[in-house]
Amino acid sequence: MKLKLNYSRENIGKPILSDIILRTGIPINILEAKIEPNTGEMLIDVPTEGERLKEFSSLLQRAGVTVKEITRTIEIDRGKCITCGACVSPCPVKALAQDENWDIIFYEEKCIGCGICVYTCPVNAIRML
């Protein structure tokens, strides 16, 4: 499950995430991070579900981190898409591909939400959610 974490000024310098990883034993993958002196934002992939995910999320929230579950990262407007493929090659994780009919295929599980596809689409058919 992908989680978007927002850190406030008060907790930006604390090792909250590493403490929770050590406490729960759940390894995570940091997909994207933007840390500034007063705020921080991370997109992480937590390879668990159910009660363990709830516990992980709850520990973050108790430490003052805002947590949002990310179920979808982008949306392709098939009515606008001209299947040109401009979004496919720039994707750093190969979350977009073209099939034998040149239709765009989106692999949600691979997407890290970087937004490169949004900026490369010449007809604005892709948007971040």
Tens of pLDDT, residue by residue over 19-56, are 999 999 999 999 889 999 899 999 999 998 899 999 99
**41, 91: one domain:** no
Q: For residue 80, what is the domain's CATH number?
A: 3.30.70.20
pLDDT at res. 113: 84
CA nearest to 121, candidates 83, 95, 87:
87
**57, 110: one domain:** no
State yes or no: pLDDT of 109 exceeds 90. no
pTM, to two decimals: 0.69
**65, 80: one domain:** no
State yes or no: pLDDT of 72 exceeds 80. no
Amino acid letter, 124: N
Amino acid letter, 39: T
**16, 66: one domain:** yes
* Tally of structural domains, the chain: 2
Region 69-98 average pLDDT: 93
**57, 91: one domain:** no
Residue 119's domain spans which residues?
74-128
**62, 97: one domain:** no
Distance CA 58, CA 66 (A): 10
Q: For residue 11, what is the domain's CATH number?
A: 3.30.70.260
